[in-house]
Amino acid sequence: MTIPAHSRRKSKYQPRAVPEIRRATSAMIASLDAEGRDTIAAPFGHALADLARTRDDIVGLSADLSKYTDLHIFAQAHPDRFYQMGMAEALLMSAAAGMAREGFTPFATTYAVFAARRAYDFIAMAIAEENLPVKICCALPGLTTGYGPSHQATEDLAIMRGMPNLTVIDPCCAVEIDQATRAIADTPGPVYMRLLRGQVPNVLGEYGYEFKLGKAQTIRDGGDVLFISSGIMTMRVLDAAARLATDGISCAVLHSPTIKPLDAETIVEQARKGGRLVITAENHSVTGGLGEAVAGALMRAGAHVPFRQIGLPDEFLDAGALPTLHDQYGLTVDAIAARVKTWLEA
């Protein structure tokens, strides 16, 4: 019997829950509010299924979470190349490593917390140390679920950044997930990529954006503030920049989806332009993620600029509905705009 994802590794002997009014937004939702944008269904699953039509080396593996990582799209299209490994992340990564040694390009999917916390040593020893082309693609990054610390991968970028040989990617939207999936299939060595699943907003498509591995790209220019962002926070800072423009505050947005290797050259070059306030924004703890990676790059380059971070606090987060949590932890457009004004006025 398949155990629902939300009850994995919990005892079946649970006290009966007290009935309560059902909220409109589920705590487990992983496709965030698109805020009026168009959405694209399961971009990762469709991109991988499409790739596999012309590449017989591509295989897909999941730890009982194919439906919750959109890998079920690939499984339906290529059932002979899909492997259900059960609720065993160590086995998932070890099997992927073995397949890579035999010439395959495995895409292994699970939740980000299970890859970063439970399977870390197996990724390090079986995959990264051997520099094998395993692509680890993980749903529920950062605060994209309300199920509390057991499912919220708020420190996965910090964990994975420290692993040698591993490329680390945090895509923004459906368009970028599609492009990045195709790009990493051709990338030598292992990759860790965060995933958004289900109905994923189309954010960067309207800008004519093309993903380039290892490159940060300016999405919007501005003279007062430079946002350096990744993942869903690029969507949020683009909206915040538009709102701040109505108050006469001009904001640039530099999207940095590749967390490792970081495009330090572009980041330093942009940070040095025009005396702007530099603000990093990430759906991750302020400890060890994009913000600290950028700060380190600026310090090493001797770029002394005003610098602030927007991210999640260094603590275990609450459970609840995502809109409530995003407001609570300052990831909303309103919160970002208000904080920028405060910093500029200080």
Candidates 305, 302, 245; CA nearest to 275 is: 305
**Mind listing the domains of the chain with CATH numbers?**
36-201 (3.40.50.970), 214-345 (3.40.50.920)
Look at residue 344 in the predicted model and tell me its pLDDT: 98
Tokens for 36?
Answer: 């009026």
Distance of CA 217 to the CA centre of its chain: 17
Q: Are 229 and 280 in contact (CB under 8 A)?
A: yes
Tokens for 190?
Answer: 């292992």
d(CA 312, CA 282): 8
Look at residue 27 in the predicted model and tell me its pLDDT: 41
What is the DSSP track for 53-91?
Answer: TT-TTEEEEESS-HHHHTHHHHHHH-GGGEEE--S-HHH
Look at residue 19 in the predicted model and tell me its pLDDT: 36
- Range list of β-strands (E), the chain: 39-41, 58-62, 82-84, 105-111, 135-139, 167-169, 191-194, 199-201, 217-220, 225-229, 251-255, 258-260, 277-285, 307-312
Total count of residues recorded for the chain = 346
Candidates 143, 93, 144, 83; CA nearest to 114 is: 93
Q: What is the identity of the amino acid at 249?
A: I
> Residue 270, CB half-sphere, CA atoms under 13 Å: how many?
33
Q: Give the CA radius of gyration of the chain.
A: 20
Tokens for 313?
Answer: 């606090």
d(CA 258, CA 254): 12
Look at residue 297 in the predicted model and tell me its pLDDT: 98
Residues 169, 147, 281, 308: what is their CA dihedral angle, to the nearest 10 degrees?
Answer: -130
Q: Are 314 and 262 in contact (CB under 8 A)?
A: no
340 burial level (CB within 10 Å; 0-12, 13-18, 19+): buried
d(CA 103, CA 127): 14
Backbone angles phi, psi at 55, to 5 degrees: -130, 105
DSSP 4: P
8 burial level (CB within 10 Å; 0-12, 13-18, 19+): middle
Query: In Å, what is the CA distance from 34 to each residue of 137, 197, 236?
Result: 22, 13, 10
Sign of the dihedral defined by the CA atoms of residues 67, 209, 331, 230, in that order: positive
- pLDDT (tens, 9 = 90+) of the chain, 346 residues, equals 333 333 333 333 333 333 333 333 334 444 465 567 899 999 999 999 999 999 999 999 999 999 999 999 999 999 999 999 999 999 999 999 999 999 999 999 999 999 999 999 999 999 999 999 999 999 999 999 999 999 999 999 999 999 999 999 999 999 999 999 999 999 999 999 999 999 999 999 999 999 999 999 999 999 999 999 999 999 999 999 999 999 999 999 999 999 999 999 999 999 999 899 999 999 999 999 999 999 999 999 999 999 999 999 999 999 999 999 999 999 999 999 999 999 999 8
DSSP 262: -
Residues 44, 175, 199, 62: what is their CA dihedral angle, to the nearest 10 degrees?
Answer: 10
pTM given for the model: 0.91
- Cβ neighbors of 13 (< 8 A, separation 6 or more) are none
